[in-house]
């Protein structure tokens, strides 16, 4: 009899765990957020900005601020930590999905960013380091074809640069060092 009870208890715990995970997934998929630390989720208008620091009720804000368009649809969500933008900032087209996602740390653009066309396709993708473009910057046409790629090192174009015509054929390519062409620049015609 003891073995049966133990098996039943194990099955009961397994079912409770599965139910808890299912409920959490439903909340996450529905976009419901739970403030773990800080002051939670508030309207941007409720913040006071002083010396590049956001305050809520007199204290540096930690949480998510939201702003809306006049029709009350979401225009942006910003993550804050100790009064500074920290984490992802998401901007929305009015009634048409995400316009941009930009990483921030201590009020400066840091990390990956992506801009989107209204049709949902990626427009621009790259990385910032201390508010400067860094690494490869990719751009696409609204149709989805590559438009250009540029490589940056702390805000300065360097390395290989390629642009494409909208039909996918290479338009121009060259090497850059310190923001200036180095060597041969090739231009192609359709």
173's tokens: 């390519």
CA 137 to mean position of chain CA atoms: 15
Residues in Cβ contact with 159 at an 8 Å cutoff, skipping those fewer than 6 apart: 151, 153, 175, 176
Q: What is the Cα–Cα distance from 169 to 53, expressed in whole angstroms?
A: 47
- On whether the pTM is more than 0.85, the answer is no
pLDDT in tens, 63-114: 999 999 999 999 999 999 999 999 999 999 998 899 999 999 999 999 999 9
**32: how many CB neighbours lie within 10 A of its CB?**
9
Transcribe 43-72 into DSSP letters. Answer: EGGG-EEETTEEEETTEE--EEEEEE-TTS
Listed range (12-26, 40-54, 83-97, 172-186) with the worst mean pLDDT: 12-26
Per-residue pLDDT band for 190 (boundaries 50, 70, 90) equals confident
pLDDT at residue number 96: 81
User: Where is 13: in which H helix or E strand?
Assistant: helix 2-29
Listed range (32-41, 145-154, 174-183) with the worst mean pLDDT: 32-41
Phi/psi region, residue 189 (left: phi>0; alpha: psi -120 to 50; beta: rest), is beta
pLDDT in tens, 113-139: 999 999 999 999 999 999 999 999 999
**Residues 98, 84: contact at Cβ < 8 Å?**
no
Listed range (7-11, 110-114, 177-181) with the worst mean pLDDT: 7-11
- Among residues 128, 129, 133, 188, which one has the least CA distance to residue 164? 188
pLDDT at residue number 31: 46
**113: how many CB neighbours lie within 10 A of its CB?**
20
- Among residues 72, 7, 9, 8, which one has the least CA distance to residue 45? 72
């Amino acid at each position: 009899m003891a073995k049966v009870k133990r098996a039943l208890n194990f099955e009961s715990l397994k079912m409770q765990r599965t139910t808890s995970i299912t409920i959490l997934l439903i909340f996450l998929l529905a976009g419901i957020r739970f403030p773990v630390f800080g002051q939670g989720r508030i309207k941007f208008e409720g913040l006071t900005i002083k010396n590049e620091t956001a305050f809520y009720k007199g204290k540096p804000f930690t949480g998510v601020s939201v702003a809306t368009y006049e029709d009350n649809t979401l225009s942006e969500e910003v993550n804050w930590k100790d009064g500074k933008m920290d984490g992802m900032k998401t901007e929305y087209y009015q009634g048409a999905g995400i316009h941009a996602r930009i990483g921030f740390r201590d009020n400066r653009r840091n990390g990956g960013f992506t801009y989107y066309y209204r049709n949902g396709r990626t427009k621009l993708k790259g990385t910032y380091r201390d508010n400067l473009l860094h690494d490869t910057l990719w751009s696409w046409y609204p149709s989805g074809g590559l438009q250009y790629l540029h490589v940056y090192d702390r805000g300065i174009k360097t390395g290989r640069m390629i642009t494409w015509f909208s039909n996918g054929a290479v338009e121009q390519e060259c090497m850059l060092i310190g923001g200036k062409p180095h060597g041969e620049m090739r231009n192609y015609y359709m």
